[in-house]
Structure 1
Amino acid sequence: MSFDQLSSLESQPTNMRRRDDPHYTDDPEFQRLSQDLMSKLLSLASNVSKLSNQIALLGTKRETERVRERVQNLLEELKDSFKEVGEGVKKIQSWEDVSPSQKYTQQKLAREFQNTLTTFQGVQRQALEKQRTSASAARTALDEEPGHVAEDGAQFGQQLSQEQLRLASQDEVDFQESLIVEREAEIRNIEQGVTELNELFRDVAHIVSEQGEQLDMIDQNVDNTRTDARGADQELRSASRHQKNARSKACLLLLILAIILTIVILAAVL
């Protein structure tokens, strides 16, 4: 069955399917949850693309405070959304007594979640690298600031007093220091998000792996059952042949005995 056909079947309302339809499901909760998760995954993919576009502006002339704020907000929102969807995916993966079409839906959701999360993790790493580079450059510039202050003081000494220059310089240093502290806090938040989502990815991958092992075991059991059934059938056929041969021998023996008895009786009478 093609993907389009299965999607069409999944999109049909439950009450529109016949019970003799192999894709019929009487579990509307599974259907509701799976459709909700797929919708959220599509939204996540769209937001990851938006985040990637914003991160591309970091470190360029188009970087602004507003861009940095959008990047941080999107990173935080996406991290929380992935955790929420991940819990839903884990829940639906542990659903019991699923039909073949539901099993396909489980696999599809797990695959889409892992792919989208992998993309987001790549974007996270890009943001982390750019933030680290930016913070390192700002720290280096701040360390070199005293040399610039001395030079500026010599150049503009006739216009400003040394005290005014020192105060202005200190204010700038304090401002730059606060920006660096803020960026380092952002870096820690991104690193924490990367760690949390790595754990979530491993959890989902582990569940999918366990399901794969279970499916392998089921397939193996089916094959074993098939082999046992064939062996039993062969044994039954062999037993049937033996029984037929035994009956044939018994009949032949009875016939011989009857002939001998008939000859003895005739000989006695004559």
Structure 2
Amino acid sequence: MSFDRLSSLEAQPTTMRRDDDPQYRDDPGFDHLAESLSDQIFSLTSNTTRLSSQIALLGTKRDTERVRERVHKLLEETRAGFKEAGEGLKKIQTWEDVNPSQKWTQQKLSSEFKANLDEFQTVQRRALEKQRASAVAARTAIEDGEHPSGDADVQLQEQQLLEQPRLANQGEVDFQETLIIEREEEIRNIEQSVGELNELFRDVAHIVGEQGGQLDIISENVQNVTQDTRGANVELRSASRYQKNARNKACCLFVILAVILLIIVLAIVLG
């Protein structure tokens, strides 16, 4: 291939080649789904962070009924969000005719989702441990005829008990029993959620594992293309130098021949 031909190929507009190559065609459906999943994962990350900070308050002096309501709400909202995002992730993983760039997007979304789901499961287990400890302490206090501590309402009742007989009346006991039942119900909900999300975690881990092999191949191909491109660039520069040297030698030879021809002509004329 001549250098003029090579220059003409390099000068062709990139958009023309991308339109002709299916690898670079736009896919609005894929892009929209990928963007939506990215936003969902970001929201889930924020929820998990807020949830972790609220769970840290359980069992402390700052533990109130409002804190427990926020924990419950965040748990429910984040669980539903992970299930919805999981369905979207499975859909994007089975997208047909994806190009290398889209495969990288699939892997990135899968890895981020898996990492966030793992973090949420850890936070859920921490909440489960706190709820169990609180329920056990409350049950023990009821059996001992005392009021459990931890909530602001319970602490208020303890102050009232200082001015009343030590024995709690039946209404207060029923109230504490209701709180314990609610906490035990929340414990069952968390346990069920952990199990359901474990299945989703295994599915995503399997997808990430399958993609890992494909991406290794893509990465190797990219590296090979990069090395080939660098080698071609070196060869083109070498060829350019050789062509320049050849031109210089041709010019020198032409000058020498011209001088010899001039000497011969002068010799003939003068002779």
TM-score, structure 2 normalization: 0.64
**Counterpart position of 2:132:** 132
Question: In the alignment, residue 15 of structure 2 is paired with which amino acid?
Answer: R
**Counterpart position of 1:103:** 103
Structure 2: tracts of 5 or more residues without a match: 1-13, 147-162, 222-271
**Counterpart position of 2:88:** 88
SS at match of 1:145: coil
**Counterpart position of 1:228:** none
**Inter-partner Cα distance in structure 2 for 1:204 and 1:115:** 10
Offset from partner CA, 1:205-233 (integer Å, 9 cap, x none)? 222333445667x78xx9xxxxxxxxxxx
Q: What count of residue pairs does the alignment treat as equivalent?
A: 187
Offset from partner CA, 1:53-91 (integer Å, 9 cap, x none)? 110110011111110011001001100000000111111
**Counterpart position of 2:249:** none
Structure 1: tracts of 5 or more residues without a match: 1-16, 147-158, 223-270
Offset from partner CA, 1:158-193 (integer Å, 9 cap, x none)? x98x9xx97x51111111111111100000011111
Structure 1 residues 19 and 80, CA gap change in structure 2 (3 angstroms)? farther
Written as runs of structure 1 = structure 2, the 5 A alignment for 1:1-270 is 18=15, 20-21=17-18, 24-145=24-145, 169-212=169-212
Conserved? CA contact 1:18–1:24, under 8 Å:
no
Structure 1 residues 97 and 114, CA gap change in structure 2 (3 angstroms)? same
SS at match of 1:18: helix
**Inter-partner Cα distance in structure 2 for 1:64 and 1:95:** 47
Cα deviation for residue 24 of structure 1 reads 2.8
**Inter-partner Cα distance in structure 1 for 2:43 and 2:101:** 24
Conserved? CA contact 1:89–1:110, under 8 Å:
yes
**Counterpart position of 1:246:** none
Cα deviation for residue 94 of structure 1 reads 1.1
Q: Which has the larger radius of gyration?
A: 1
**Inter-partner Cα distance in structure 2 for 1:130 and 1:19:** 61
TM-score, structure 1 normalization: 0.64
**Inter-partner Cα distance in structure 1 for 2:24 and 2:215:** 22
Structure 1 residues 215 and 52, CA gap change in structure 2 (3 angstroms)? closer
Cα deviation for residue 96 of structure 1 reads 1.7
**Inter-partner Cα distance in structure 1 for 2:145 and 2:139:** 10
**Inter-partner Cα distance in structure 2 for 1:144 and 1:27:** 67
**Inter-partner Cα distance in structure 2 for 1:211 and 1:194:** 25
Conserved? CA contact 1:79–1:193, under 8 Å:
yes
Cα deviation for residue 39 of structure 1 reads 0.9
Conserved? CA contact 2:104–2:215, under 8 Å:
no
Conserved? CA contact 2:111–2:208, under 8 Å:
no
Cα deviation for residue 26 of structure 1 reads 2.3
How well do the aligned residues superpose, as a CA RMSD in angstroms? Answer: 2.5
Moved more, 18-27 or 203-212: 18-27
Question: In the alignment, residue 112 of structure 2 is paired with which amino acid?
Answer: E
**Inter-partner Cα distance in structure 1 for 2:113 and 2:208:** 12
**Inter-partner Cα distance in structure 1 for 2:42 and 2:68:** 24
Conserved? CA contact 1:135–1:184, under 8 Å:
yes
**Counterpart position of 1:241:** none
